[in-house]
Amino acid sequence: MTKKKKSAWLENIEAILIAIVIALFIRAFIVQAFKIPSGSMLETLQIGDQILVNKFIYGVKIPFTDGKTLIPVKNPQHNDIVVFKYPEDPSKDYIKRVVAVAGDTLEIVNKKLYVNEKVVTDQPWAQYKDPRILPGQITTRDNLRKIIVPANKLFV
């Protein structure tokens, strides 16, 4: 019995389809590229920087479920940089640094960040460059009352 050979054209189509499936799997579960659109993460990330995000580090997520975890691996820690959907516009991805995790107390007093009653001064991202202190009625940027980060939440 002789096997029919696939045509070269059919083999190429098959290889392309397999490559697409593998690429979609990698993007959905393992790694994804992002471009930094704004200066909110300066000095760490510059506007226009391109980064690859490890999507597996916090666990395997179930696609199309708003981030439900199938297999948890670890929880985000202080100083981790995380990517998440902006709650007010889920079409936008936000890239931020974890300042506090569930159960932490957090407060900002005259531009000084306190996490668990300790002032954070040893991190370049915790330094304000703008010398003005704005009133609390305008923004909580410079003064934020003490809060406790709720369970299953992060402060970024």
Catalytic residue among 38, 40, 85, 92: 40
pLDDT at residue 3, rounded to an integer: 60
Across 11-153, the runs of DSSP E, i.e. the strands, are 31-35, 50-54, 59-61, 69-72, 81-86, 89-97, 100-101, 105-109, 112-115, 118-119, 144-148
pLDDT at residue 136, rounded to an integer: 64
pLDDT at residue 49, rounded to an integer: 92
Catalytic (active site) residue 38: no
pLDDT at residue 115, rounded to an integer: 95
Q: Indicate the domain borders of the chain.
A: 31-98, 101-156
pLDDT at residue 12, rounded to an integer: 92
Q: Which residues of the chain have pLDDT under 50?
A: none
Q: Is this structure's pTM higher than 0.85?
A: no
CATH architecture entry for 31-98: Ribbon (2.10)
3-13 pLDDT, tens per residue?
Answer: 666 788 899 99
Q: Which residues contact 108 (CB under 8 A, 6 or more apart)?
A: 114, 140, 141, 142, 143, 144
Catalytic (active site) residue 96: yes
- Strand (E) or helix (H) holding 26: helix 8-29
Catalytic residue among 55, 61, 96, 111: 96
pLDDT at residue 40, rounded to an integer: 82
As given in the structure block, the two tokens for residue 23 are 């690429």
